[in-house]
């Protein structure tokens, strides 16, 4: 294991221990897919509490973890059910804000992409771990930023590339984002991970097996190390550098006993 991964394990374990002994909620910084997988894979003996993760909206890739004292976790289970989603998670006061980034003069605004916004923010000296997802929608974007840097970013980010911008805070309670997707239907021999990857990314199973071996494929935030994983309805599959999709389910079987499935590939 890399030293950075060992340090992250130790830090997450320490946050859980603090939550347990002090009976308070503790929060991590934003975690990427690899770091979320490390959290999900921690042995039970290294965690003193339960935890939930949230990144500002459903399907957020970068998320914070909240480590919950037992009493609070059990209350949340009673209020929201076993999946711990919904208003309970949003009510935990995760220490981040949502900021809208808009062009100061729409007429002169460039077409900016995710890399443009990320570069402009990181050039201010902000650490990547304090930054969540960046959602680009036309000439505007929404960024999730650690609360300690909310005011700083609002004041200091005045330009993205050649476009002057204005930042304003958005209420997390009122913010709802549903990623756009392309619906793909097709037949597969089975609902194995490699079969669905081949359908989603129009590539051969042989090529995609290399992605799994290269530790680039995650299902619901967990790193997959085998291409024979049987995907379940509702699973979200993320491939680093390629995108993600949700397996919606089986529609029917063909006369040749192939399975007709539907997936939503996020664009």
**236/233 Cα distance (integer angstroms):** 9
Question: Domain-by-domain residue ranges, the chain?
Answer: 3-90, 96-170, 181-266
Within its chain, how far is the Cα of 51 from the centroid?
A: 16
- Assign 111 to helix, strand or coil: coil
> Do 238 and 218 meet the contact criterion of CB atoms below 8 Å apart?
yes
> Do 239 and 215 meet the contact criterion of CB atoms below 8 Å apart?
no
Q: Give the pLDDT score at 74.
A: 61
Pull the structure tokens for residue 263: 């997936």
Residue 69's closest CA among 115, 17, 121?
17
Query: Tens-of-pLDDT digits for all 267 residues of the chain?
Result: 578 889 999 999 999 999 999 999 999 999 998 899 999 999 989 999 999 999 999 889 999 999 998 866 665 555 555 455 555 676 688 999 999 999 999 888 999 999 999 999 999 999 999 999 999 998 999 999 999 999 999 999 999 999 999 999 999 888 888 888 999 999 999 999 999 999 999 887 777 778 888 889 999 888 998 888 999 999 999 998 889 999 999 989 988 889 999 999 998
Q: Give the pLDDT score at 82.
A: 46
Q: What is the pTM of this model?
A: 0.83
> Do 56 and 134 meet the contact criterion of CB atoms below 8 Å apart?
no
Residue 117's closest CA among 97, 138, 96?
138
Q: Which CATH superfamily is domain 96-170 in?
A: RRM (RNA recognition motif) domain (3.30.70.330)
First to last CA, the chain: 34
Q: Give the pLDDT score at 172.
A: 87
Q: Give the pLDDT score at 221.
A: 87
Pull the structure tokens for residue 29: 């910084």
> Do 157 and 101 meet the contact criterion of CB atoms below 8 Å apart?
yes
Pull the structure tokens for residue 255: 């006369």
Pull the structure tokens for residue 2: 């890399």
Structural fold of domain 181-266: 3.10.290
Residue 243's closest CA among 202, 213, 209?
202
- Residue 211, classified by CB atoms within 10 Å of its CB into exposed (0-12), middle (13-18) or buried (19+), is buried
Across 106-137, b (16+ Cβ under 10 Å) vs e yields: eeebeebeeebbbebbeeeebeeebbbbbbbe
**214/89 Cα distance (integer angstroms):** 33
């Amino acid at each position: 294991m890399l030293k950075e991964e060992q340090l992250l394990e130790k830090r997450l374990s320490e946050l859980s221990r603090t939550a347990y002994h002090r009976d308070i909620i503790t929060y991590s910084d934003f975690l990427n897919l690899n770091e979320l997988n490390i959290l999900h894979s921690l042995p039970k003996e290294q965690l003193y509490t339960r935890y939930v993760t949230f990144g500002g909206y459903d399907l957020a890739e970068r998320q914070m973890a909240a480590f919950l004292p037992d009493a609070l976790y059990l209350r949340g289970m009673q209020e929201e059910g076993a999946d711990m989603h919904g208003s309970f998670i949003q009510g935990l006061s995760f220490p981040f804000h949502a900021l809208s980034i808009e062009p100061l003069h729409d007429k002169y605004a460039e077409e900016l992409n995710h890399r443009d916004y990320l570069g402009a923010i990181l050039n201010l000296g902000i650490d990547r771990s304090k930054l969540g997802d960046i959602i680009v929608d036309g000439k505007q974007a929404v960024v999730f930023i650690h609360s300690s840097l909310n005011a700083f970013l609002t004041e200091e980010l005045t330009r993205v590339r050649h476009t002057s911008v204005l930042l304003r805070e958005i209420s997390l309670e009122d913010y709802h984002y549903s990623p756009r997707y392309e619906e793909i239907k097709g037949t597969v021999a089975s609902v194995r991970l490699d079969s669905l990857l081949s359908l989603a990314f129009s590539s051969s199973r042989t090529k995609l097996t290399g992605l799994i071996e290269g530790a680039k494929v995650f299902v619901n935030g967990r790193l997959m190390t085998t291409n024979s994983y049987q995907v379940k309805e509702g699973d979200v599959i993320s491939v680093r550098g390629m995108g993600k999709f949700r397996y919606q389910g089986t529609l029917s079987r063909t006369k040749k006993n192939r399975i007709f499935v539907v997936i939503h590939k996020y664009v």
